[in-house]
Amino acid sequence: MRFPMRALTALLVAAPLSAQTPAAGPRATLSLAEAQDLAARNNPAYLQTENNQVVAAANVRNAYGSLVPEVSASMGGGYRQGKQQFFGGQAFGSTADQLSSSYAINANAQYSLRSFLAPKQQRANADAVDGDIRNARMTLRTDVARQYLNALAEEARAALQDTLLRTAEVQLELANVRQQVGSATILDVQQARVQVGQQRVAIIRARALAATEKQRLFQLLGVPASSTVELTTSFPVEQPTFELTELLDIARSENPALSSARLRERAADVGVTAARGEYAPTLSLNANWGGYTNQLTDDQSLLAGQLGQKQGPCYQAEQIKAIVGQPSNPAACAAIALTPQEISAVKASNKAFPFDFTTNPYELSVRLTLPIYNGFAREQRVQEASVARNDARYDVRAAELRVDTEVNIAFLSLQAAYEAYSIQQQNVATARQALELAQERYRVGASTFVEVSTARDDYERAVQEEIDAAYAYHRSYAALEAAVGRPLR
């Protein structure tokens, strides 16, 4: 921005063109809109607020996901040493080592009024987070605009000091010429030299302050500072044409802070309904399905068992013969052996580990739970939700009052700033005429250097106050836009 101030574009006196600083090379530029976009992409505090949107979206997905049954699967394996265990003097267990594996699939779901309200509640919370982000974005835009204006104001003051230095140098040359021809004293020359020195000090301070404000601007943008960047946005000073009632209506519907408070209130309303849903029954569904394997590391025990089952009927028959007094031949039973096919079948049946599962019976269950008493925990949560809702309503009311107040104050400040600037423009014009007259009178010897110095100080003060008035207008404009909740130009 280069504020369109006639007092800065016209020299205080007819200074030679050779006294002006040569034009610098090309410089990078930065408009206000570009600065605000940079801040939205790089300001750490704003990006932290924006990150909350990720969490809010995850909460919404989780709320919808809770309506879908949870499914889990597990698989495991084991090894057991083939050593018998004794209980009550009896030996149990296999003498062979065992390998085992199993799998299970489980699905369960719980449904209640609170679970069905959870998506609505989380959507309301997500909307509130979006409102907070919009509010933070508007606050950031306003902060960037104010700091942008601060940097421009200091640059304008520094430009004024440069102009005043050129004027002081011309006055020193004039004092030297008059002293040489005898129409001025050495005191006039010394006073002119002091003014040049003081003006150079003022330039150093003004440039340092302008650089400081620009550094603060880049800090707000979240990017490295650069002394070669030129701020280019121009802000005209125009008489406000807004209607206060129109601004209030816009602010009540679009102010992001107020909108965020209303969204928080809506989320709190859903929270109360969800808390009361704990009095409703809960439906629980469960399903289980799985399988297992069991394999001995030594086939001999299985073969022995299979052989025992094959020889068993023979031994029983021979025992019966012996009991009834008939001739028996137990040795013939011992001659019974497993066929190769039977041996192969036994060994094949012992090859289940790890994936030849035997399926377990599946299981389905349904349970309806009606809460009766839990130590007034539900009542506590309902009261907490009700208090949170009431607080949210109070926040909305406070936000409405704050927005109305801020719009009114900013509107009045903008009108006053414009009137003050108009008067300061007249003061600058008058002070410039007085300075030109004092310089001309001094040139022809009709006045002293003190009169010129006083007129110069009056002009500098008038221009400084004009700059202050101009940027007070722009700051009031930015404050009004922030209160309304959207740009107005």
Q: Which of 39, 217, 60 is nearest to 123 (CA)?
A: 60
- Is the pLDDT reported for residue 10 higher than 70? no
Residues sharing a CB contact under 8 Å with residue 225, sequence separation 6 or more, in sequence order: 214, 215, 218, 219
The domains found in the chain, sorted by start residue, are: 27-66+114-278+375-484 (1.20.1600.10), 300-349 (no CATH)
Write down how long the chain is.
489
**In the 8-state DSSP scheme, what is residue 92?**
E
The backbone region for 376, taken as left when phi is positive above 0, alpha when psi lies in -120 to 50, beta otherwise, is left
pLDDT value for 136:
93
pLDDT band at 26 (very low <50, low <70, confident <90, very high): low
Longest dimension (CA), the chain: 169
Question: If residue 236 lies in a helix (H) or strand (E), which one and from where to where?
Answer: none
pLDDT (mean) for 86-112: 78
Share of the chain above pLDDT 90, in %: 46
Across the strands, what pairs with 365? 286
Phi, psi of 121 (to 5 degrees): -65, -45
Say how far apart CA 205 and CA 199 lie, in whole Å: 10
Least confident of 28-37, 84-93, 466-475: 84-93
Across the strands, what pairs with 80? 98
Give me 26's structure tokens.
């090309």
pLDDT band at 91 (very low <50, low <70, confident <90, very high): low
pLDDT (mean) for 231-258: 91
pLDDT value for 93:
58
pLDDT band at 2 (very low <50, low <70, confident <90, very high): very low
Averaged pLDDT score across all residues of the chain: 85
pLDDT (mean) for 111-128: 90
pLDDT tens for 291-320 read 989 887 877 777 777 777 877 888 788 788
- Is the pLDDT reported for residue 108 higher than 50? yes
pTM above 0.75, yes or no: no
E-only strand ranges, 81-168 = 85-87, 90-92, 98-111
Q: Is 332 exposed, middle or buried (0-12, 13-18, 19+ CB in 10 A)?
A: exposed
The sign one gets for the Cα dihedral 57, 60, 66, 68 is negative
pLDDT value for 393:
94
pLDDT value for 197:
92
pLDDT value for 87:
62
- Is the pLDDT reported for residue 17 higher than 70? no
pLDDT value for 144:
95
pLDDT (mean) for 87-94: 58
pLDDT tens for 47-69 read 999 999 999 999 999 999 989 99
pLDDT value for 147:
94
pLDDT value for 40:
94
Residue 401's CB: how many other CB atoms inside 10 A?
10
pLDDT (mean) for 177-187: 79
300-324 vs 340-349: helix axis angle to the nearest 10? 130
pLDDT tens for 414-454 read 999 999 999 999 999 999 899 889 888 877 777 777 888 88
- Is the pLDDT reported for residue 19 higher than 60? no
pLDDT value for 380:
92
pLDDT value for 479:
92
- Is the pLDDT reported for residue 476 higher than 50? yes
Q: Is 376 exposed, middle or buried (0-12, 13-18, 19+ CB in 10 A)?
A: exposed
Question: If residue 4 lies in a helix (H) or strand (E), which one and from where to where?
Answer: none
In three-state secondary structure terms, 103 is strand
The full DSSP string for 423-439 is HHHHHHHHHHHHHHHHH
What is the distance in angstroms between the CA of the first residue and the CA of the last residue of the chain? 15
pLDDT tens for 322-355 read 777 777 777 778 778 888 888 888 888 888 888 8
Cα–Cα distances (Å) from 426 to 14, 160, 234, 371, in that order, read 21, 17, 22, 80
pLDDT value for 92:
57
pLDDT (mean) for 367-383: 89
Say how far apart CA 245 and CA 46 lie, in whole Å: 32
pLDDT value for 14:
34
Say how far apart CA 86 and CA 426 lie, in whole Å: 113
- Is the pLDDT reported for residue 374 higher than 50? yes
Which of the pair, 215 or 308, is modelled with greater confidence? 215
pLDDT tens for 251-292 read 999 999 999 999 999 999 999 998 988 888 999 999 999 998
pLDDT (mean) for 396-413: 95
pLDDT band at 150 (very low <50, low <70, confident <90, very high): very high
Residues sharing a CB contact under 8 Å with residue 171, sequence separation 6 or more, in sequence order: 13, 192, 195, 439, 449, 452, 456
pLDDT value for 134:
92
Residues sharing a CB contact under 8 Å with residue 412, sequence separation 6 or more, in sequence order: none
Say how far apart CA 419 and CA 469 lie, in whole Å: 9
E-only strand ranges, 58-180 = 70-80, 85-87, 90-92, 98-111
